[in-house]
Amino acid sequence: MVNPVRNNKLAENAKMKDKNTISNGVKFAIKNLDIWFGTIHALKQVSMEIEANEILGAIGPSSSGKTTFLRMLNRLNDLSPNFRMNGEVKLENDNIKNIDAQFLRKRVGMVFALPLSLPLSIFDNVAYGVKMHGVKNKKLLQNKVEESLKEAYLWDEVKDRLNESAFKLSGGQQQRLCIARTLAVSPEVILFDEPCSGLDPISTAKVEDAMVKLKQKYTIVLVTNNVKQAARVSDRTAFFLNGELIELDKTELIFTGPKDKRTDGYIRGKFG
Amino acid sequence: MQKIKEFIIEKFIFICGIASIFFVVLIFLFLLKEGLAVFKFVKPLEFLLGKNWYPISEPAQLGILPLVLGSLLVTLGAAVISIPIGVGCAIYIAEIAPLKIKETLKAGIELLAAIPSVVLGFIGMVTLVPLVKNIFHLPTGLTALSGSIMLAFMAMPTIVSIAEDALYSVPKNYKEGAFALGATHWQTIWRVMLPAASSGILAAVMLGIGRVIGETMAVMMITGNAAIMPNSILSPVRTLTATIAAEMGEAVVGSEHYFALFAIGIVLFVISFIINVTADLFLHKDQK
């Protein structure tokens, strides 16, 4: 590969795997999860565990249920009027049904496919969630914003223009701004819903960079349509098809010797 | 043959198309011609800021300030009452209400819009007016306040339905984004939905106010119709619209009184034109 950013990242990625940063703690335990939207059976009997400090990649063709799965984890599915579920999802031994949605969503942050910058300054965009949760102290806000922007690898690019409108940033920068905004609320888990679908390759590399570094502190679930992205950044990869979890294993294994023929077909680009 | 047919239809549709603007221009010109004639009798400033409206005394005193203030007072009162309730209702319908209640409420709002204003005025006269009189211990319940309350009912359907549309058309991902940050439902409404829908809501308010300021029948029936300088919301007032409606029949054509009424028409026209243009600006702000 010619891209130095990418090469550095891959090296770093490999180093982290050597150090075996994946702890044994289980963040999410999902058991026999079924989800319906009206008559559509969107997820069928999904059981899996998501470990702390790992990047779990979820791949699969469109309408395979991977996004529904992701939005289950912070209960965003609850917003759909005809949503029904069966089974249980536990976040560190607490059934997420029993956690108040707003506390759950504070612990489980989410970054969407399209950068959702608000028509505010860069600073206010990042401080938005923190302010909403009642932090008013200016010093505290400033620290939080700086810290989050650094974690999202955006600080160096914006530190001199925090008061400019967020719309002046490029697409990739806006997406990292959204990551910073999510980080500012101090979540434990970050859900990425196709975070690079609208970005050019260099911006994508930067966002992927940020993700790989973030897993030291956070657990990451990444839904992506880009199979190669899952191969590059995730520790384990889950393959969804028609609402079923077909296969979940270490990323290397999924991409070198998948057990299921359908997984093999998808990653080779035979369908989807 | 085909060509001629095509030509005729095209021209016919063209005439239909420009008819409305043609009539507006005609009406406006007529209004201007008749209305501006009043300035042969009074100076423009005297007309607008004069405190006495005695159109048939000798010599006639044609100051419309009490009428303008009457209109503004009633409108302001109606706005103060209808905006919070209307916007609150819109939020409830768009965001909170379960589907069934939502449908019922929407139908109710539409029914409210369908009540003829004279009926509202009539109901106000027999129920609201005595109530206001008793509560505030007034000599009469025919006050600006009664008019405001009644007009608030008329402005509400406009405000609710347009504001609800505005809230409904806020992109779904704004809402999800806020929820994903851990916002409560109310925080999402207050900090995301309302700012995002603000231009539409402002337009709704302006159109509601536009409806109020042009309303005639109900205010004529319940505001007392006294063309005096109002000193509080509890005093009887007379609005611009009610003045025209009440006096046009008895004004001698070609007299200064007659021209003065047309001039009042111009003032009304200008006021509601400003309100409508403002609403339009807000409504189309996002599309630029």
Query: Where residue B168 sits, what CATH number does that domain have?
Result: 1.10.3720.10
Domain membership of residue B82 (yes or no) is yes
Q: Does any CB of chain B come closer than 8 Å to the CB of residue A112?
A: yes
**Position A152 pLDDT exceeds 60:** yes
Which chain A residues have a beta carbon less than 8 Å from that of B173? Answer: 112, 114, 116
Could you give the strand order of the β-sheet that contains A189-193, starting from the edge strand earlier in sequence?
A: A108-111, A189-193, A219-223, A55-59, A236-241, A244-250
CB-based contact (8 Å) between A197 and chain B? Answer: no
**Closest by Cα among A113, A146, A108 to A127:** A146
B48 in any annotated domain: no
Q: Please give the ipTM for the structure prediction.
A: 0.77
Average pLDDT over residues B233-246: 89
Q: Are A104 and A96 in contact (CB under 8 A)?
A: yes
| Average pLDDT value for residue range B230-244 | 88
Confidence of residue A2 (pLDDT cuts 50, 70, 90): very low
Residues present in chain B in total = 288
State the sign of the Cα–Cα–Cα–Cα dihedral B232, B233, B236, B238.
Answer: positive
- Contacting residues of A for B187, CB less than 8 Å apart: 132
A135 touches chain B (CB under 8 A): no
Q: Indicate the pLDDT class of residue B57, thresholds 50, 70 and 90.
A: confident
Kindly report the nearest CA distance between residue A195 and chain B, in angstroms: 14
Question: B106 and B160: one domain?
Answer: yes
Is B147 contained in some domain?
Answer: yes
DSSP character for B40?
Answer: G
Assign B53 to helix, strand or coil: strand
HSE-up of A56 (CA within 13 Å, CB side)? 26
In Å, how far are A100, A177, B280 from B193, measured between CA atoms? 21, 21, 21
Q: Residue A69 has which token pair?
A: 């799965």
How many folded domains does chain B comprise?
2
In a domain, B248, yes or no: yes
pLDDT over threshold 90, residue A197:
no
- Decide if A116 and B184 are in contact by the 8 Å CB cutoff: no
Which chain B residues have a beta carbon less than 8 Å from that of A103? 182
Q: What is the tens place of the pLDDT at every residue in A203-228?
A: 899 889 889 989 888 999 999 988 88
Q: Is B159 found in the same domain as B264?
A: yes
Any B CB within 8 A of A133 CB: yes
Does A185 contact B at CB distance below 8 Å?
Answer: yes
A234 phi and psi, to 5 degrees?
A: -85, 150
What is the three-class DSSP state of A55?
Answer: strand
Cα Rg of chain A (Å, integer):
18
Q: What's residue A11's pLDDT?
A: 58
Cα distance between residue B11 and residue B26, in whole Å: 21
Q: Are residues B123 and B176 in the same domain?
A: yes
B20 in the same domain as B139:
no
| Whether A266 contacts A65, CB under 8 Å | no
- The verdict on a CB contact (< 8 Å) between B182 and A132 is yes
Specify the pLDDT at position A6.
57
Max CA distance (Å), chain B: 78
Do B8 and B125 lie in one domain? The reply is no
- Report if pTM > 0.90: no
B181 lies in the same domain as B245: yes
- Kindly report, residue by residue over A98-112, the tens digit of the pLDDT: 888 888 999 999 998
Question: In this structure, is residue B288 part of a structural domain?
Answer: no
A110 vs B181: CA distance, rounded Å = 7
Which of B179, B191, B198, B286 to mutate to test binding with chain A, by most A CBs within 10 Å of its CB?
Answer: B179
Q: Which of A47-51, B58-62, B207-211 has the lowest mean pLDDT?
A: B58-62
A12 pLDDT tier (thresholds 50, 70, 90): low
Q: Compute the mean pLDDT over every residue in chain B, rounded to the nearest whole number.
A: 89
Is the CB of residue A115 less than 8 Å from the CB of residue A166?
Answer: no
Residue B45 lies in a domain: no
For residue B78, pLDDT beyond 90: yes
Which pLDDT value is given to residue B167?
Answer: 93
* Domain that residue B267 falls in: 53-283
pLDDT band at A20 (very low <50, low <70, confident <90, very high): very low
Same domain, B10 and B101: no
The overall average pLDDT reported for chain A is 86
In the predicted model, what is the mean pLDDT of residues B270-276? 89
Is residue B262 domain-shared with residue B217, that is, in the same domain?
yes
B47 lies in some domain: no
- Domain shared by B217 and B175, yes or no: yes
All structural domains of chain A, each given as residue ranges with its CATH number in brackets, are: 4-267 (3.40.50.300)
